[in-house]
Structure 1
Amino acid sequence: MSRLVVVSNRVSLPDEHGSPPPGGMAIALSAALQRRHGLWMGWSGKVKAGEDPSGPISRREARGISYALTDLSQTDLDDYYYGFANRVLWPVFHCRVDLAEYSEARMSGYQRVNRLFAKLLQPLISDDDVIWVHDYHLIPLAKELRNLGCGNKIGFFLHIPWPAADILFTVPHYDDLLRGLSCYDLVGFHTDDDLSNFAECLRRQGLPDPITNGVCQAYGRVFRCGVFPIGIDTAEFERLAEQAARSETLQEPSQRIPGCKVAIGVDRLDYSKGIEKRIVAFDRFLRSNDHRIGKTQLLQITPKSRTEIPAYLAMQKDVAERVGRVDGELGTIDWMPVHYINRSVGPSELAGLYRMARVGLVTPLRDGMNLVAKEYVAAQDPQNPGVLVLSRFAGAARELGGAILVNPYDPEAMARAIEEALDMQLDERIDRWRAMIGRLREYNVYRWCDDFLLGLDQR
């Protein structure tokens, strides 16, 4: 079996005991790397002092996995990560062209850091290594490696949506992105829609029927494309939720207001998650259902992210103001309609909160997959499961047919869906949950990892 080399912007380093950090993808990748005596390369998370060029590589070993890390200069970090990756690609790929802030300096920095990663990685790889590159930060990496003479099998997986052609084409030099993906041997997406959008982008470039039976011919290369919907560590999340059900500490939130049903939302603070619109919808729900006032609460857990980017700071202020307005107008001394938490919650506590929530509100405006939807389903009590209310614009909607699908841009429809979920009879809730948990158990994160690597190995 060939050695596996994983490349990502950030590396999920093990803890002091050598165990991988929480998170299904990190655990699955770590397991694959252990089996194949692998190497994981990426940014260390540290910023070099001064304006020295980024690099070099530092190495460490843990449980059969090698880690290769590089620091980045502040200039490289600003241009590559905060600049092109998160002020251009992230908003555009999530259909927020209005928030994209393109500049030639940022594009140059994006290419420069990918070139750096290739230069640092090339001496570390052997001829028979299989390389798996992750996400939008590193689209040009295969092209840079090919320029250095790398003939290895190289795969790429996109963890966010791929946009429609007219949206992608708003990015200056968008053709460089398409050309960069053509240098991989296998390109993976979450959904058929993402793959269809990618094919349409190539077609609009004058390539008739560019993808046939998963084989793509573009820019003088032949490569393959496929759909690999990422899963979660379903069994582990079920275990955590069952354990939480026996914990008095994790049962406290459901006991504070007797008879109060909880709807839960868990999202990183990001404009793609639809948090503001969800709060508006919950407000509409309460005002339309007087009998739910004082008896229903939205628990919204929203850790901060990317506070260096102005759009995120503005959103943080807007969400806090909306929560304050709803709580101020509808709350009482002993009940607040929205309980807003602005920090991360550990996996055990989160599994317990999912389990006690009657409704899971997962309503992003656009999302590649959204694993919160899958975690909520996995955490439910099989004898008394809650109901998932899910945006039709999340990749998870293609798999979780037992959810109530909603349009997150329609607050009145979302309000009706919340009431439908709360009013749903037990038999229907169980039937819906069984349909979804069966899928999650079969297509877990380990299956996702194995399927992609099998496809890459079979080039």
Structure 2
Amino acid sequence: MQIVSYRGPGMAGGVSPALTQMVAGDGSNHKWWHIEDNTIKYSNGIGQPNARHLLSESLIEGHYRYCNEFLWPIMHDMSEFATYRVEDRALYERFNRIFAREIVVENSRYTSSKLFVQDYQLALLPKELQRLDGPACGIFWHIPWPKSVPQSYLPAIVDLAKSLLSAEFIGFHTQEYCSNFFNFVAKNIPGTTVSMRNRTITRQSVAYVNPKAAPTMEDTWRIRLADKYTSQNRFTKVVAAPLGLDVDHWENISRVRSKLHLHPSLIHTDYVLSVDRADYTKGVAPRIEAIGHFFNDHPELIGKITFAQLCTRTRPGIEAFDNNWFNIQRLIQEVNSKYSTEDWQPVLNLKGPLKPAELSLLYANASMMLVNPVRDGLNLTAKEYIACQSNRPGVLGLSPHCGAFEELGPWAVEVNPFDPKEMSRSIFNALNLSDRDKLERMNGMRSRLNENTLTLWCEQFKGLLEPADDMETAAEAAL
């Protein structure tokens, strides 16, 4: 197996921990392609990573801007935050083209295995690998696929979708994202046949031209036959498979938490916990507004409950994220100034990063976990909270706009990130649920976690990536 991701083994955040388990036990029978120190590298679990290509600073920065200033807000249906630059798109394309070339050159030395490509940073890899007659691949899309795309941005997103259709399969976290993708392809990509019943998209044979050989349409008459390549009639399987949690891992961590100590400010009050980045998709600002409404409506709870946040700054230097960070700090200061007492403040900013055992302790003792994004691909923190709960559990407050809601929604307390006053009422109601109700809800969510573990998720995609003479038969059998 070969994994291709932006982050590599052992790197914090993203899907890296899940992929680490996926290749565990394979020894040297896998390769993990990734970016580290501005360099394309691959590792196989033995020795130091092998460096393949040093990327220029301008290429890295342009790719980063295109991913975070354009693709991120568009994919989260938040186009008001999007900034599109033609030059950044060109750098994003070049980044993917170079990455694909290095993979193909390395794989030409032996019989290659299929590639498991990860996420939006590498969305053009399937097309580029096909153009270079490289290894077959599947891709998992870890963020949402949008419900709609503004007309002015359609060409760029159509280009991404066409590339994804060069993969043997596309994985999404939820049925909704699959449906959004089906609808997008049916509406915007001619020559495709969408079958929601069979979960496939079939496309007709298309002749492509090497973009380096034909920079403009006027030059196409000069293209040599070798500069053209054809995509045969084929289908792409679209799979809804929410990333599972390594439940055993979190349960094992929880066994050592008795040696740790809670933050002093949390010992004397109940607390509501949130763990997220200061990303405008996470709904941190409306949450702070909801906390203000909470204490305004329930002054009797001042000094009796704390809202603890592990909220880390993200993507500094990008205006939309910086503005969101400063707005969050301003709102926290306003709420704390208004409702603090001599020995207590309503919003406690916890300093990170925390070790998993420390995080487990916070999860285990929280009266409530509040996860209220305005849009989120999945959100594993909600699942981690459930795995760390005791026999006297708290309650999960969850936004319906979070990917995890598709799995956990029946047992969570729904919170509305677009209405802070309504969110405040939901928090109050959740904290006042009976112990029996909390236990029933938590047991339901625990059962769901055990039905969809990280191991099962890994096995599903390992099955799809195994070599087969008949790809369609193999995919159907795996699913």
- TM-score of the two chains, using structure 1 as the length reference: 0.89
C-alpha displacement of 1:124: 2.1
Does structure 1 conserve the Cα–Cα contact (< 8 Å) formed by 2:203 and 2:235? Answer: yes
Question: 2:213 matched to which residue of 1?
Answer: none
Aligned-partner residue type, residue 153 of structure 2: T
Question: 1:357 matched to which residue of 2?
Answer: 366
Say yes or no: does 1:93 pair with 2:75.
yes
User: Which runs of structure 2 are paired with 1:311-330 in the superposition (5 Å)?
Assistant: 311-330=320-339
User: Which runs of structure 2 are paired with 1:51-200 in the superposition (5 Å)?
Assistant: 62-63=45-46, 70-81=53-64, 83-125=65-107, 126-150=110-134, 152-167=135-150, 170-200=153-183
Q: Which moved more, 1:155-164 or 1:127-136?
A: 127-136
Distance 2:31 2:44 in 1: 9
User: Which runs of structure 2 are paired with 1:55-454 in the superposition (5 Å)?
Assistant: 62-63=45-46, 70-81=53-64, 83-125=65-107, 126-150=110-134, 152-167=135-150, 170-205=153-188, 206=190, 207=192, 209-218=194-203, 220=205, 221-244=234-257, 246-250=258-262, 252-255=264-267, 257=268, 260-341=269-350, 343-381=352-390, 383-400=391-408, 401-454=410-463
Q: How large is the Cα RMSD of the aligned pairs?
A: 2.1
Aligned-partner residue type, residue 371 of structure 2: V
Does structure 2 conserve the Cα–Cα contact (< 8 Å) formed by 1:299 and 1:340? Answer: yes
Does structure 2 conserve the Cα–Cα contact (< 8 Å) formed by 1:95 and 1:167? Answer: no
Say yes or no: does 1:456 pair with 2:465.
yes
Aligned-partner residue type, residue 128 of structure 2: E
C-alpha displacement of 1:222: 1.4
Does structure 1 conserve the Cα–Cα contact (< 8 Å) formed by 2:285 and 2:331? Answer: yes
Does structure 1 conserve the Cα–Cα contact (< 8 Å) formed by 2:130 and 2:136? Answer: no
C-alpha displacement of 1:168: 8.1
Does structure 2 conserve the Cα–Cα contact (< 8 Å) formed by 1:133 and 1:154? Answer: yes
Distance 1:71 1:322, change over 3 A: farther
Aligned-partner residue type, residue 102 of structure 2: L
Does structure 2 conserve the Cα–Cα contact (< 8 Å) formed by 1:233 and 1:445? Answer: yes
C-alpha displacement of 1:344: 2.0
What is the DSSP-based 3-state SS (H/G/I as helix, E as strand, rest coil) of the residue aligned with 1:316?
helix
Does structure 2 conserve the Cα–Cα contact (< 8 Å) formed by 1:25 and 1:232? Answer: no
Distance 2:244 2:14 in 1: 8
Specify every segment of 5 or more residues in structure 1 that has no aligned partner in the other structure, as ranges.
14-20, 48-54
Distance 2:331 2:270 in 1: 21
Largest Rg, 1 or 2: 2
Specify every segment of 5 or more residues in structure 2 that has no aligned partner in the other structure, as ranges.
206-233, 467-473
Does structure 2 conserve the Cα–Cα contact (< 8 Å) formed by 1:39 and 1:65? Answer: no
Aligned-partner residue type, residue 322 of structure 2: L
Aligned-partner residue type, residue 388 of structure 1: L
Distance 1:12 1:364 in 2: 27
C-alpha displacement of 1:336: 0.1
C-alpha displacement of 1:23: 6.6
Distance 1:25 1:108, change over 3 A: closer
Question: 1:41 matched to which residue of 2?
Answer: 33
Does structure 2 conserve the Cα–Cα contact (< 8 Å) formed by 1:362 and 1:391? Answer: yes
C-alpha displacement of 1:308: 2.2
Distance 1:173 1:31, change over 3 A: closer
Percent of matched pairs sharing the same residue? 31
Distance 1:374 1:394 in 2: 12
Distance 1:288 1:198, change over 3 A: same
C-alpha displacement of 1:315: 1.3
Does structure 2 conserve the Cα–Cα contact (< 8 Å) formed by 1:42 and 1:69? Answer: no
C-alpha displacement of 1:213: 0.8
Distance 1:59 1:456, change over 3 A: closer
Aligned-partner residue type, residue 327 of structure 2: D
C-alpha displacement of 1:280: 0.5
What is the DSSP-based 3-state SS (H/G/I as helix, E as strand, rest coil) of the residue aligned with 1:301?
strand
C-alpha displacement of 1:128: 4.1
Does structure 2 conserve the Cα–Cα contact (< 8 Å) formed by 1:187 and 1:226? Answer: yes
Does structure 2 conserve the Cα–Cα contact (< 8 Å) formed by 1:168 and 1:174? Answer: no
| Partner residue of 2:22 out of 32, 52, 69 | 32
C-alpha displacement of 1:171: 4.1
Does structure 1 conserve the Cα–Cα contact (< 8 Å) formed by 2:74 and 2:149? Answer: no
Q: Which moved more, 1:320-329 or 1:219-228?
A: 219-228
Distance 1:93 1:271 in 2: 13
C-alpha displacement of 1:243: 2.4
Query: Alignment length, in residue pairs?
Result: 433
Does structure 2 conserve the Cα–Cα contact (< 8 Å) formed by 1:254 and 1:356? Answer: no
Distance 2:294 2:114 in 1: 51
Task: Deviation per CA, 1:419-445: give whole Å up to 9, x if none.
Answer: 111111111111000000111122111
